[in-house]
Structure 1
Amino acid sequence: MQVERRAAYSEPPQPPSSTASIAGHPIHPMLVPFPIAFFAAALVTDIAYWRTADLQYSNFSSWLIAGGLVMGALAALAGLTDFIANSRIRAQRPAWPHALGNIVAMLLALVNAFVHGRDGWTGVVPWGLALSAAVVLILLVTGWLGGALVYRHRVGVQP
C-alpha cells in the first residue's frame, strides 16, 4: 500500500498594508526623514550656540524645531492613519513603542520650541540643548522600531 504524500503549500500571509498611501507607496516613511533631519540639525545648532554664543545659531535652532514640528505633524498624521485603520499594524510588537515614543518626542519638541522662544542663552543652555538631545535620542530608538516594522514585519511592503 502506497501512501500518497501531498505537499502542504500555502501562501504566506500578506503583510499589513498602509492605509495612507499614494499609488501604493506609504506616505509615512516618505515624510519621516524631514522631522528627523530638522531635529538633528537643531541639536547641532544648539551645540554650536553653546560653544560660540553666536545668536544666529539660536535662531537657526528655533526655525529648525518649528520645521520639525510641522513636518513631524504631517508624518504623525500619516502614521496615525495607518496605525488606527489597520489592526494588523497595531498587532506588531514594535508598533506601540514606535507610536508612543514618537508622541513623546513631538511633545518634547513642542516644549523645546517654547524654551527656545526665550531670549538668547536662556533659550538654549541648558534646557533647550537637553531637550534637543532628548528628542534626537528618542527618534533614534523610534526610528529603529519603525525600521523593524518595515524590514522585519513588512508593514506597508507590497508583496
Structure 2
Amino acid sequence: MHNDTHRPGALRSTARIAGHPIHPMLVPFPIACFVGTLLTDIAYWRTTDIMWANFSAWLLTAGLITGALAGIVGFIDFLGNRLVRAQAPAWPHMIGNVLALVLSFFNVLVHSRDGWIAVVPTGLILSAVVVLILLVTGWLGGSLVYRHRVGVDH
C-alpha cells in the first residue's frame, strides 16, 4: 500500500513565504503574550498594583491579534492539504487553539472591568487555563512538525 505522507513535499504548508511555513513564524507571539498575561495577572494578584492589570489587558489584546493571524495561517494549512488534516494531532491542535482564542476573548472582556474584579479571580483563572491549553496544543504542534513532518521539506 502506498502512503502519500512519505512523498517529498506531501505535507507541505500551504501558507509559505519563500518556501518557509508562516504558521510557525507567528505562533511564538501569541504564546509569549498569553504567558505574559498569566505572569502579570499573578503580579497584580500579589501586589494589587494597577500597572500589572493594565499590562495584562495590553498583552491579551496583542495575543488575540497575533493569535488570530497565526490561526488564520494555520487554518489555511489545515484546509489546504487533506494529508495534514489526516494527521492524528491536527484536529486537537486546531480545536485547542481555537478554544484558547475564545477564552482569551472572554478574558479581554473580564479585564476590561474596573478594579480587583478585572483580574481576580476570573481573569487569573482564564489566563491559567489558556496557558495550560497552549502547553497541550504546543506539544501537538511540535508532534505535527517533528514526528509527522508537517511543513518540513524533504
- Give TM-score, length-normalised by structure 1: 0.92
Q: Check if 1:57 corresponds to 2:52.
A: yes
Q: Tell me which structure has the larger Cα radius of gyration.
A: 1
| Higher mean C-alpha deviation, range 25-34 or range 12-21 | 12-21
Size of the aligned set, in residue pairs, is 148
Match of 1:142 in 2: 137
In the TM superposition, what are the counterparts of 1:77-156 in structure 2 within 5 Å? 77-156=72-151
Structure 2: 5+ residue stretches without partners: 1-5
Verify: 1:67 aligned to 2:67, yes or no: no
Q: Distance in 2 between matches of 1:36 and 1:108?
A: 14
Deviation at 1:13, TM superposition (A): 2.4
Structure 1: tracts of 5 or more residues without a match: 1-11
Q: Percent identity?
A: 64
Match for residue 3 of structure 2?
none
Equivalent-residue separation in structure 1 for 2:55 and 2:118 (angstroms): 12
Aligned CA RMSD, in angstroms, stands at 0.7
Which residue of 1 is the match for residue 33 of structure 2?
A: 38
Q: Give the TM-score of the pair, scaled to structure 2.
A: 0.95
Report the 3-state secondary structure (helix = DSSP H, G, I; strand = E; otherwise coil) of the residue aligned with 2:153. coil
